[in-house]
Amino acid sequence: MATLKVPQPLPPVADDCEQLRKAFSGWGTNEELIVSILAHRNAAQRKLIRETYAQTYGEDLLKALDKELTSDFERLVHLWTLDSAERDAFLANEATKKWTSSNQVLVEIACTRSSEQLFAARKAYHVLYKKSLEEDVAHHTTGDFRKLILPLVSSYRYEGDEVNLTLAKTEAKLLHEKISNKAYNDDDFIRILATRSRAQINATLNHYKDAFGQDINKDLKADPKDEFLSLLRATVKCLIRPEKYFEKVVRLAINKRGTDEGALTRVVATRAEVDLKNIADEYQRRSSVPLERAIVKDTTGDYEKMLVALLGHDDA
C-alpha cells in the first residue's frame, strides 16, 4: 500500500504552478509551500505540474528546484518530482559510477520493478544518457558481479501467476546442489534468478524450504562478509519479499551512527506510491517504533518534513 495522500478536491494545476513560482520568489525560499504541494501530488499530477510550469514560465521546474534548494531536502524533492522511469534511470546511472554497495541499487531496480517498469527505465536511460543501461553495467562491473547484474537489468520477466510445480521441484534441487558445492556463480543458478517469473521463483523457493529445511537465504549466508553472497541474498529478497528488503535498508540507514540519507531518501522517494505503508508496518513490527517517529528523531528541518509528508504523517 502507498502512503501518498492527495487532497480532495485537487487545486487546478495552474494554481499549483503559481504557488510554486511564489515559493521561489522574493527573499528566501518558502520550503513549506513546496512540501505542501509536491508531497501531496501523485506521479501523473507531478508530471502535469512540470509540463505546465515549463509552458507558463519557460523554465524546467527541476532546474528551479535545484537552484533554490540544498542538500538532502533538494535530493529528496528532485527524486520525487522525477517521473518514475527517469528516477530509476538516474539512480541506476549513479550506481554504475560507484562500486560495492551501489551494486545493490542496481539489483533493487532490476528486481523490485515490474517488467514494464524496468523496460521504461531502460528506455529513459537511452534518452537521458545517450547509451544503454546494459552497456554501462557491463563496463563498470567485473567478474561474478557482472555475471549476475547484467542479466538482471536486461530481464523482461513473465508477470503472470502460472506456476510449473515440476519445474519448481527440479530447480529447487538444482539450486540446493549448487549452494552445497559453493558454486554460487553457476550459470544455471544465475539463469533461474534472472529469468524466471516471480511466481515461479516463489514456488521454487517454497519447495526449497520444504525439501531442505530452511530458507535459501540462510544457506546463502555461508560467509556473511562475502559481497557476492550478500548481493545474491538481496536479489532473492527483492524478488520475493520486497517490503522486507526495503525495511532492512531503512533500518540500517536510520540505525547507523549518522543517518544514511542516501538510502533513506531513495526508499521513501521510490516506494511512497507503491508499498511504503507495508514497509513502515514491517519496520514497526521489527523495531517496535513507528517509522515516522524514528525518522523525526533522526532527521531535521525541511528534509524531515518532506519525508514525514510522503509517509502520510504531516502531523507527526
E strands in the chain: none
> End-to-end distance of the chain based on CA atoms, in angstroms?
19
User: Where does residue 226 rank: exposed (0-12), middle (13-18), buried (19+ CB within 10 A)?
Assistant: middle
Whether residue 299 is annotated as binding a ligand: the answer is: yes
Whether residue 58 is annotated as binding a ligand: the answer is: no
Whether residue 282 is annotated as binding a ligand: the answer is: no
Q: How far is CA 267 from the centre of its chain?
A: 5
Whether residue 143 is annotated as binding a ligand: the answer is: no
- Using alpha carbons, list the distances in angstroms from residue 64 to 17, 35, 49, 76: 12, 15, 13, 14
- Using alpha carbons, list the distances in angstroms from residue 125 to 134, 135, 137, 300: 10, 11, 12, 33
Whether residue 296 is annotated as binding a ligand: the answer is: yes
CA dihedral over 41, 42, 48, 50, signed as positive or negative: positive
CA dist 102 and 95 (Å) reads 5
Residues ≥6 apart with Cβ < 8 Å to 75 = 261, 262, 265
Whether residue 68 is annotated as binding a ligand: the answer is: yes
Show the DSSP H helices in 82-222 as ranges.
84-96, 102-112, 115-129, 133-140, 143-154, 165-180, 187-195, 198-212, 216-219
C-alpha cell at 13: 494545476
Instruction: Please report, as a single letter, which amino acid is at residue 12.
Output: P
Dihedral of CA atoms 47, 50, 52, 57 in degrees, nearest 10, equals: 180
CA dist 204 and 211 (Å) reads 10
Whether residue 262 is annotated as binding a ligand: the answer is: no
CA dist 49 and 40 (Å) reads 12
Longest dimension (CA), the chain: 68
Residue numbers in the known binding site for Ca(2+) are: 24, 26, 28, 68, 254, 256, 258, 296, 298-299, 304
Residue numbers in the known binding site are: 24, 26, 28, 68, 254, 256, 258, 296, 298-299, 304
